[in-house]
Amino acid sequence: MNPLKAGTLDLALLSALEDQPRYGLDILQHVKARTGGLFDLREGSLYPALHRLVKAGWIDSEWQESAKGGAPRKYYHLTDSGHAALRDKKTEWRTLSGALDALLRAERWA
């Protein structure tokens, strides 16, 4: 089961890149670990989403040599507009989450 709904994928990816640049597999592992395995993204959904975020100007990428001597990896990082988008999306999420929590609490007493 993959509970990522429309709109939450962008928030998850932007959040994964908030503190440091990451390459694809690192992004997948980070999101899975931080969500306790609940968000188990697949490469087939990750890379199209990353390309969409690059096109939107929210992230950028650059190739870097592997520290272990392997093939170069493409690292993604937030742009200034990506940091702003992440702030906006966090605010939207908290507002929506708070409203839903209030609704669910109210229904419990009905």
Question: Do the Cβ atoms of 14 and 86 come closer than 8 Å?
Answer: yes
- Among 1.10.10.10, 3.40.50.300, 3.90.1720.10, 3.60.15.10, name the CATH number for the domain at 8-108: 1.10.10.10
pLDDT by 10s per residue, the chain, length 110: 355 555 789 999 999 999 999 999 999 999 999 999 999 999 999 999 999 999 999 999 999 998 788 899 999 999 999 999 999 999 999 999 999 999 988 766 65
pLDDT at 109 (0 to 100): 62
Look up the pTM and report it.
Answer: 0.85
pLDDT at 68 (0 to 100): 81
Distance CA 86, CA 54 (A): 14
Closest CA to 51 of 6, 4, 96, 9: 9
